[in-house]
Amino acid sequence: MELSGKGAIVTGAGTGVGRATALALARAGCSVAVNYSRSKDAAEAVAAEATSHGVEAIAVQADVANDDDCRRLVQVALDTFGRLDVLVNNAGTTSFIPHHDLDAVTAETWQAIMGVNLIGPFQMARAAAAALKDDGGGQIVNVSSVAGVYGTGSSIPYCASKAGLNNLTVTLARVLGPEVQVNTVCPGFIDGSWLQEGFGDAFESIKQSVVKRSLLGAVSTPDDIKDAIFGFLLGSRLTTGELLVVDGGVGRSAW
């Protein structure tokens, strides 16, 4: 896809992978709606930096777990850019709960994680579908996790939500084709603030453990995941319904 002159929405774009992706879209000449739920200052800073690349960029508050918010976010992007060609479903949440601690997982935990990680991407895709089909078609790229592939991650509900998102990718690809491509990136360990806050003092030791298992001797940065997202956006027009694992080969290593 030629990105110059197009319009995009990136959910959860105030920090991390979302920030890196939104700024890369702007550098490519694509106007971008920088979605956030709570990180207003960070999202507005991303939008301001994006505009320095000569495109339109706006920060838009919306909770993707809320369908009305999803529809409003899409409409604001359309009203501002006049078109929508790219949707990156990056917003995510979790709770750090050891898998063996089943009693620590509440109904509220399930609802909060599923609402953002699985229901949210569905609602965003539904709200954006008609616009993405216009002007020659568009693309959706979901940001999932190796947790949805291997069943390892911050909590059981998180793993299940990402497994659901991987399946949703395939079903949406069937429903939205041929005009819209739908693909998913599945990151492994990402060296960034999200996991630093989640793991706390254990972050560095966990990171080094993952590095040792990596076939490439490294863990991902937000830019690595952004590059994988762009691999779909700039790649073959015949790629859809696919999952791309980006974990340095950790899932292929001998345990």
Which residues pair with residue 140 across a beta bridge? Answer: 87, 182
Distance of alpha carbon 233 from alpha carbon 6, whole angstroms: 12
Residue 236 belongs to a domain? yes
Task: Look at the chain and report how many structural domains it folds into.
Answer: 1
Residue 213 belongs to a domain? no
Query: pTM, whole model, 2 decimals?
Result: 0.95
Residue 65 belongs to a domain? yes
* The pLDDT of residue 35: 98
Residue 141 belongs to a domain? yes
Instruction: State pLDDT tens for residues 178-198.
Output: 999 999 999 998 987 767 776
What are the catalytic residues? Answer: 158
Which residues pair with residue 47 across a beta bridge? Answer: none
Domain that residue 21 falls in: 7-192+221-245
Distance of alpha carbon 62 from alpha carbon 84, whole angstroms: 17
Residue 148 belongs to a domain? yes
* The pLDDT of residue 255: 54
Residue 211 belongs to a domain? no
For the domain that residue 60 is a member of, what is the CATH number?
3.40.50.720
Residue 163 belongs to a domain? yes
Residue 206 belongs to a domain? no
Distance of alpha carbon 47 from alpha carbon 61, whole angstroms: 12
Listed in order, strand segments (DSSP E) in 97-217 are 139-143, 181-187
* The pLDDT of residue 192: 74
Distance of alpha carbon 123 from alpha carbon 140, whole angstroms: 12
Which of 158, 226, 249, 227 is CA-nearest to residue 198? 158
